[in-house]
Chains A and B, each alone.
Chain A
């Protein structure tokens, strides 16, 4: 069996009676950027939160099917904290903790047992550079992170996620609250990170999907309609519903 970085096999999830995903099967290749698009309530965000098990504390959460990360079942054979260390997540709204810039980035490594100041210094610098934020904040690392602009905060969140050295990064509409310039910077960072990380981008912005992703998956009411090379999805999709969505006729 050919396997990708993440194998999603026949996954259905529900919150109580409400079904969110139905029989989803696809795989995510190593170091690709996969865009997940679809209208509201299509199950995009549910998919992301299922991949790092952030869903499971919700009341009534049920899952069937299986998800494998490098061949390991993430719901059975791995501790949830080590899974989340390997699969990082960027949220829709920038959500720095009420700590300094430095402490925000050092938070993850510290939780995983890194305490040495020199190690942490190095991590902070490296990740801020990767997120294109270093030059803007290098002189004020002790500043409250909440005092940064929205775009800076979101790049800080990316740096913070990189600091725990994940293999996969999930983005949940990461630019929904940002202006075009900040959005461009976040996208620039994503493309730059491609050489190292597998990235999954949930977005409402089809143009953004077209700009940054290698492949695109289209979801509708909890079902995977189509997944293919991005260019093909946006030019000659197989399914008329996909075409309707990407051409802006609904959604």
Chain B
């Protein structure tokens, strides 16, 4: 190897490192800024009280509760349909044109912008089905946005179960559903759960889909029913950072920190579940 080639390599690798640092250093800085300024805003009152004085004081309790409701609602709808659809596609569907169309649709649905899901939710749930802007409309919108991700992750998990497990169960006279229920699902549940939690954590941080389907600008009381509007952390942060002049930064950063923490906790839970099951896995 000529020394010139080695020098070129050195320069090239340095440039690659530079690219990486340009991406990674801002991530670290952003985290540091949110944590440092956010912690100043965090307090028991901040977490448990409603906003006051035009949101310039008080806490973000209704927004936290609203986001929790929305995530639960999303899960309630998207989880069963998503898993069953994945089971259908991996265990039942024959390899024909319909299956291929569904395949293409799911892959592409995952790439449709979240604001378009918002429009869809507005058109179908809020206006056509007359739910109005409500928790149910928002949850359903987020659920439909999460479905493709949940289906894709669940299919991957189902596909990791060896074919021989299915054959053995069938050969022992178990029916197809018994095989799925007692062999396939127990051996893929960790992957399904992990994928679902990650999809839900994404839904928790989305703003555009809830903008016209559920989010309330300011609603200090907690929602009373599924057909009430509610506040939500991402939208609240949007409001705080663009619509409320002269607000103290620590309220904004505090809100951002709570949202990021919530999502990180969900991510960590997913990672822990995954590694826990990986350790136990024998095949």
- Give A residues with C-beta under 8 Å from B: 52, 54, 59, 81-86, 88-89, 91, 93, 95, 97-98, 107-108, 111-112, 144, 146-147, 157, 160-161, 164
Task: Assess the B165–A95 pair: CB atoms within 8 A.
Answer: yes
Q: Is B170 an interface residue (CB 8 A)?
A: yes
Are A88 and B171 interface neighbours, CB within 8 A? yes
Contact partners of B174 in chain A: CB under 8 A: 81, 107-108, 111
Residues of A near B183 (CB, < 8 A) are 97
How many angstroms from the CA of A122 to the CA of B16 in the assembled complex?
67
Closest to B162 in A: A95
- The answer to whether B164 and A93 have CB atoms under 8 Å apart is yes
With an 8 A cutoff between CB atoms, is B94 at the interface?
yes
Q: Which of A85, A88, A107 has the most CB of B within 10 A?
A: A107
Task: Specify which chain A residues have a CB less than 8 angstroms from the CB of B45 in the assembled complex.
Answer: none
Cβ-defined contact, A59 with B172, below 8 A: no
| A54 contact set on B, CB distance < 8 A | 167, 170-171
Contact A111 B171 (CB under 8 A): no
The 12 sampled A-B contact pairs (Cβ below 8 Å) are A54-B167, A59-B94, A81-B175, A84-B171, A84-B172, A88-B171, A93-B164, A95-B162, A97-B168, A111-B182, A112-B173, A147-B282
Q: Is the CB of B173 within 8 A of A82?
A: yes
Does any Cβ of A come within 8 Å of B178's Cβ?
yes
Most chain A CB atoms below 10 A, which of B162, B171, B183: B171
The 9 closest A-B pairs by CB, nearest first: A85-B173, A108-B172, A111-B174, A84-B173, A89-B171, A95-B164, A146-B282, A81-B175, A81-B173
Q: Which residues of the partner chain A approach B94 to less than 8 Å between Cβ atoms? A: 59
Question: Quick check: A97 and B169 within 8 Å, CB to CB?
Answer: yes
Additional A-B contact list (20), CB under 8 Å, known A81-B175, A111-B175, A112-B173:
A54-B167, A59-B94, A81-B174, A82-B173, A84-B171, A85-B173, A91-B171, A95-B165, A95-B167, A95-B168, A97-B168, A97-B183, A98-B282, A98-B283, A107-B182, A108-B174, A111-B178, A146-B282, A157-B168, A164-B173
Q: Mark B168-194, 1 if CB is under 8 A from A, else 0.
A: 111111110010001100010000000
> When chains A and B are docked, how far (Å) is the Cα of A204 from the Cα of B167?
22
- Residues of B bordering A, CB below 8 Å: 94-95, 162, 164-165, 167-175, 178, 182-183, 187, 281-283
Q: Which of B162, B173, B281 contacts A111 (CB 8 A)?
A: B173
| Nearest B-chain residue to A90, judged by Cβ | B171
In this complex, what residue of A is CB-closest to B166? A57
Q: Within 8 Å CB of B168, what residues of A?
A: 91, 95, 97, 157
A112 to B173, CA, bound (A): 8
Q: Which of B167, B173, B175 has the most CB of A within 10 A?
A: B173
In whole angstroms, how far apart are the Cα atoms of A157 and B167 in the complex? 13
Q: Do B283 and A108 touch across chains, with their CB atoms under 8 A apart?
A: no
A95–B166 CA distance with the chains assembled, in angstroms: 10
Kindly name the residue among A84, A86, A91, A93 whose own CB sees the greatest number of chain B CB atoms within 10 A: A84
Q: Are the CB atoms of A108 and B187 closer together than 8 Å?
A: no
Point out the residues of chain B lying under 8 angstroms from A52, CB to CB.
Answer: 171
